[in-house]
Amino acid sequence: MTVSNSSFSSNWAPARKVVGRLAPSPTGAQHVGNARTYLLAWLHARLQGGRVVLRMEDIDSPRVKPGAAEEAIVDLKWLGLDWDEGPDVGGPHAPYVQTDRLSLYRQHLELLIERQLIYPCTCTRKDVETAASAPHLDGEPPPYAGTCRFRSPQDASALDTDKFVWRLHTSDQPRTIIDLVRGPCSMNVARDLGDFVIAKGTGVPAYQLAVVADDHAMGITEVLRGDDLLPSAFRQLELYEHFGYQAPQFAHLPLVVGPDGRRLAKRHGDTRLSWLRSQGMKAETLIGWIAYHSKLLDELRPITASQLLGDLRPTMLEQIPAEPLILHPHDVAWLLAQD
């Protein structure tokens, strides 16, 4: 991936009515890093007079934890965030839970099959790793070597549905986005990432296909998320182009990480919002800490989401530091010690 000053942007669009989204994945508890992403996404949409959609991204059903979706809603409300559409309030784009939207994803998959844009792949993860020769990005699997590229969609009829996945023929050309946090970013999907999986042979979609279908159907105009998902923006641009959809604007935030520079996990102690809340921490204490360390407040003080909204301008993302936000054990201790 390179950063350039190119004036071209595959996802730059004329002004539209702003619609942002909060998209928890109920594969586990929400933590401090998630809270920062949700807060900034909500603030940025609301500052522009925009709407906010809540969507549960539970398509990775084997990893979904019972009760995690309900707990995520409790966490978001505790933070003082609200939304105009969602699984608990309804709306014109219902349902708002991905496992209830499978027919939409199937329609998109069938369109790609019809246009010969995807092919069945029987390679295992080990096969992909063994065949890979190109270097790969941190946090990403090696680019797919194209072992099954010779296949056509029709070849799938001779395969067991649980023995293959669908991969997209990616284009060997640079793509550029104007990221609202990082600025111009470019990547060649075919070279840097390779043909990627968009669905299982059973038709269950992968993240990339489901997100593109949902964001278009729900009219999402901006996507704010962690920068570990920056490569996904370029994968998704391939799909937006194939479907003829206008892509949203992207904003990729540096992650909240532990002292070792790695994303938050159990090894860093308990950073779950539900646990912090159970220990008596107030939401305004956490919001103030997040805002201060995101350069949105000049002093470290408690503040509610609605109060912070009144203090900011729509250009707030220009203030976000480029480096990851480190959460130290003493930060957690400080958060819990506040009245």
What are the C-alpha distances in Å from 222 to residues 39, 102, 205?
14, 23, 22
Catalytic residue among 77, 163, 266, 295: 266
Which residues 6+ apart lie within 8 Å of 49 measured at CB? Answer: 18
Q: Are 105 and 95 in contact (CB under 8 A)?
A: no
- Measured between alpha carbons, how far is 314 from 330 in angstroms, rounded to an integer? 32
Strands (E) in the chain, as ranges, are: 19-22, 51-54, 118-121, 165-168, 174-179, 183-188, 197-200, 222-226, 249-253, 256-257, 325-326
Q: Is 61 helix (H, G, I), strand (E, B) or coil?
A: helix
- Measured between alpha carbons, how far is 183 from 178 in angstroms, rounded to an integer? 5
Torsion of CA 317, 320, 324, 325, to 10 degrees: -110
Omega before 324 within 30 of 0, i.e. cis: no
Angle in degrees, 0-180, between the axes of helices 32-47 and 68-78, rounded to the nearest 10? 60
Token code pair at residue 17: 């009515």
Q: How many CB atoms lie within 10 A of CB 161?
A: 12
Active site residue 266: yes
Q: Are 252 and 41 in contact (CB under 8 A)?
A: no
Q: Which of 265, 196, 253, 195 is nearest to 228 (CA)?
A: 253
What residues are annotated to the active site? 266
